[in-house]
């Protein structure tokens, strides 16, 4: 209980830090006045239209990707499984590549819609495959192959695209928590929260699947049906997050391992909350780090998110797996 409270406190502090400091110089008093419903127009715009939406987006994205990683690692009983390995993120990337490379200069809404369509197509192919493939390991291999095929198609589009289209796609591929405001943020929040509310219904089947398909069958779990439903849940969370934020690597892979070390439990009712909080905290930390060069006066540009998450996530995974082996 104490660890959970400390995690919650850390998430709140990181959230407030991202609202208080950013690329525009504002005093803490100005930020506080805006949050209290006062403040001038410039400060209000910066806090309410930029910093607060970015912090909310990072909180939701970190929680969604981390839970997706936890479900994937349980479903396949593989410590290296995460939402991107099944081609869902690649499907979103292909949809984005089609609109950015074939129709350069297209709007943000169209880009997000294309990413969503691409991810949903990848999910549909996986669900259709899961009806024929009995082994989770075989389905994992199919997902990796699907990701490779989609990656090849994306590379072909890059080869024939214009310079402007390639630049737009590269920028999208770096990831970004700052592109979701207003009604779009409301839709994204609703999609994530409604999906996360379904999590408690999966705990019993996840605990059973962790011990193997045969054990799950012996306690009355319909393995095929639950596997399909879990794939749909992970796919949906990954699809909406990738559509809004672009590909965000390593959070879904690293955070579940850290949550297991912290809780020292394999029960998903304990793991899920720790994973949600750690995921949100990690994403908020990455958002704050991306702004540090501007906050410290070292640069006028924020760091790409896609360059920060691997630097944090990869060492965490290596360290945890090394400690686990020892």
Could you report the per-residue pLDDT of 258-293, keeping only the tens digit for each?
A: 898 888 888 888 899 999 999 999 999 999 999 988
On average, the pLDDT of the chain sits at 83
Residue 152 CB neighbours (<10 A): 12
Average pLDDT value for residue range 21-34: 86
Whether 164 shows a pLDDT value over 80: the answer reads no
Q: Is 44 exposed, middle or buried (0-12, 13-18, 19+ CB in 10 A)?
A: middle
Which range has the worst mean pLDDT, 15-19, 306-310, 312-316? 312-316
pLDDT of amino acid 136: 64
* Both tokens assigned to 168: 């737009």
pLDDT of amino acid 106: 59
**Number of structural domains in the chain:** 1
What percent of the chain clears pLDDT 90, i.e. is strictly above it? 17
pLDDT of amino acid 57: 94
Could you report the per-residue pLDDT of 105-116, keeping only the tens digit for each?
A: 556 667 777 777
Q: Does the model's pTM come out above 0.95? A: no
Structure confidence at residue 9 as a pLDDT band (50, 70, 90): very high
Residues spanned by the domain of 68: 2-325
Nearest by Cα to 272 from 243, 313, 237, 248:
237
Q: Are 169 and 158 in contact (CB under 8 A)?
A: yes
Alpha-carbon torsion 176, 182, 187, 190, what sign? Answer: positive
Residue with token string 């660890």:
3
3-class SS of residue 181: coil
CATH number of the domain to which 171 belongs:
1.10.3470.10
* Both tokens assigned to 14: 């990181």
Whether 245 shows a pLDDT value over 90: the answer reads no
Nearest by Cα to 103 from 55, 157, 150:
157
Q: Are 180 and 190 in contact (CB under 8 A)?
A: no
Average pLDDT value for residue range 151-176: 80
Q: Are 297 and 238 in contact (CB under 8 A)?
A: no
Residue with token string 């991107």:
84
């Amino acid at each position: 209980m104490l660890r959970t409270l400390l995690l919650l406190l850390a998430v709140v502090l990181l959230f407030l830090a991202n609202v208080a400091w950013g690329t525009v110089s504002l005093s803490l008093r100005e930020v506080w006045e805006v949050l209290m419903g006062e403040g001038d127009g410039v400060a209000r715009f910066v806090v309410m239209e930029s910093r607060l939406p970015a912090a909310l987006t990072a909180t939701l994205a970190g929680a969604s990707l981390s839970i997706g990683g936890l479900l994937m690692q349980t479903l396949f009983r593989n410590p290296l499984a995460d939402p991107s390995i099944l081609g869902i993120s690649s499907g979103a990337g292909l949809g984005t590549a089609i609109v950015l490379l074939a129709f350069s200069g297209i709007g943000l809404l169209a880009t997000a819609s294309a990413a969503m369509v691409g991810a949903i197509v990848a999910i549909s192919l996986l669900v259709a495959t899961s009806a024929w493939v009995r082994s989770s390991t075989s389905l994992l291999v199919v997902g990796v192959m699907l990701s490779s095929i989609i990656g090849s198609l994306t590379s072909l589009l890059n080869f024939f695209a214009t310079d402007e289209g390639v630049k737009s796609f590269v920028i999208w591929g770096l990831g970004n928590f700052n592109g979701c405001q207003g009604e779009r943020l409301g839709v994204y929040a609703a999609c994530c929260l409604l999906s996360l509310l379904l999590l408690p219904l999966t705990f019993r089947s996840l605990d059973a699947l962790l011990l193997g398909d045969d054990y799950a069958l012996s306690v009355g779990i319909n393995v095929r049906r639950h596997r399909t439903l879990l794939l749909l849940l992970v796919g949906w969370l990954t699809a909406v997050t990738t559509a809004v934020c672009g590909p965000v690597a390593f959070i879904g892979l690293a955070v579940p391992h850290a949550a297991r070390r912290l809780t020292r439990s394999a029960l998903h009712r304990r793991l899920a909350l720790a994973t949600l909080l750690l995921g949100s905290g990690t994403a908020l930390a990455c958002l704050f780090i991306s702004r540090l060069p501007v906050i410290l006066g070292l640069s006028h540009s924020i760091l790409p998110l896609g360059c920060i998450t691997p630097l944090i996530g990869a060492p965490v995974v290596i360290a945890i797996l090394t400690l686990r082996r020892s």
